[in-house]
Amino acid sequence: MFRGHRRRIRILFTVSDVVLLALAFFLAYLVRAKLNLEHDFFLRSPVVLLLAGWAMVVWVGLGYWWEIYDRIDRAHPRTILRDAFQQCLLGLASLVVFEYLLRLELSRLFVGLFAGLAWVLLCLFRLNAGRLLGVVRRGFASPHYVMVVGSNEGAVRLGRELENADEYGIRLKGFFEDSGPREIELDRTYPVFPLSELPGVLRADVIDEVIFAVDSKRLPELEETMLMCDEEGVRTRVAVDFFPHVNSHVYLDRLGPMPLLTFSATPHDEVRLLVKRVTDIFLAGAFLVLLLPVFILIAILIKLTSPGPAIFRQVRCGLNGRQFTFYKFRSMCQDAEALRASLEHLNERDLVFKIKDDPRLTVVGRWLRKFSIDEWPNFWNVLKGDMSLVGPRPALPSEVNQYKRWQRRRLRMRPGITCLWAVSGRDEVDFETWMRMDMQYIDNWSLALDWKIMLRTIPHVLIGKGAH
């Protein structure tokens, strides 16, 4: 379906969650207040608003984080029950923590009733969401009629997608092509009109929009047809699947008055990227300030146990190939780089140099590596803007020079301290899988994904899992 239709459905499910949570809160409060138990239960209006508001923020936030609202209307009942249970369980935990921090001394029965009723009401609504959406669309929304210009393979594929969106009120009326009239058989049979009849069809029938799905070479000759649709006030779209940008997001940008059709193979939402950068600065700055005494202690320990500087500096490749100085606590002997050539035969990786029991590691360095403490100075790189908290690990220029073309796309995201590779086995993951995990991160990036990776990183670091 079109992105606008999906956005409206997401908003509908958000509103329904808020209403159902308010109902569950009221019913739980009413039941607990009516029960003749040892302790009376009463909440003042400000506390009621605070608790209900907190619950709604958490429940809805979890719904967006886990992308529940994007799949409710087409999910399997088991998935719906599981999603609602996880949402209510974590929401209940957050409510308990919230109560503890504010010292509200809520009735445990009330809190349990609220979470239980919320789960029941959410499940009842979501299990019937498909039918409810159908009723809403039939009763309040007019069908959205679409016609396609073109009859090639891409146009037929587009027609199938439009058919699949039929339940959302989108109706495919037919096709236009120079070779018409004839018919195209999909799940239903659609007429193919001569393109010259398009003005007459627009006047005689209700057409909300026209989608041009033709070869790129034909677009200039269709300029008059597009202009005619524009003058009629009919929305037009151009399918751009004839461009070989398989990884790209396509969007329209402007440079002054000039429109630019833009293909981006990496995240481009400037607002969300700004939030990511602000988060990086805040967390990295807080980490450096809070752990400054520990940094000094580690540096002294390194200096006392082996000759050489406490901080190891190395040139790495950052965003779009920019080179920067990378900082780590030194975990190897002073002449580690000079010894590398003699150890090449022990390398366990392609491109990246990795040895499971590297003889160059110092006694202290082995422990620093195991628990990723050697990477703590990376927070200074984050503060400077060379790196991010989450992103592909920064590579050496010599490694980048040997990348395959598809692997170079990992340079289009600011490198990070942790990433999917770090929470999926770290040094136990082979190089090819590592690279594909970075592509997976870039293609599916969101602020929620960053937080998931950071939260998953903590236990991996604490137990030293997968680090060599």
Closest by CA to 392, choosing from 357, 436, 356, 349, is: 436
3-class SS of residue 465: coil
**How is residue 102 written in tokens?**
């504010």
Per-residue model confidence (pLDDT) at position 139: 46
Burial class (CB in 10 A: 0-12, 13-18, 19+), 353: middle
Beta strands in 182-246 (DSSP E): 182-185, 189-194, 209-212, 235-238
pLDDT tens digits, one per residue of 57-67: 999 988 888 88
Find residue 61's DSSP bridge partners: none
- 455 contacts 389 by C-beta, under 8 angstroms: no
Q: What is the pLDDT of residue 140?
A: 47
Tell me what pLDDT residue 246 has.
57
Residue with tokens 């807080």: 286
Judged by DSSP in three states, 64 sits in helix
Q: How far is CA 56 from the centre of its chain?
A: 22
HSE-up (13 A, CA, CB side) for residue 317 = 17
CB 226 within 8 A of CB 214: no
Structure tokens at 398: 């010599």
CATH H-level superfamily of 142-242: NAD(P)-binding Rossmann-like Domain (3.40.50.720)
Give the other-Cβ count within 10 Å of 167's Cβ: 13
The domains of the chain are located at 3-135, 142-242, 270-463
Rounded Cα distance between 332 and 369, Å, is 10
8 Å CB contact between 360 and 312: no
Q: Which residues of the chain have pLDDT under 50?
A: 139-140
Torsion 318-323-325-329 (CA) sign: positive
The confidence score (pLDDT) of residue 382 equals: 95
CA-closest candidate to residue 363, choices 319, 294, 305, 402: 305
Cβ-proximal residues to 305 (8 Å cutoff; 6+ apart), any chain: 362, 363, 364
CB atoms within 10 A of CB 128: 11
Determine the pLDDT at residue 392. Answer: 93
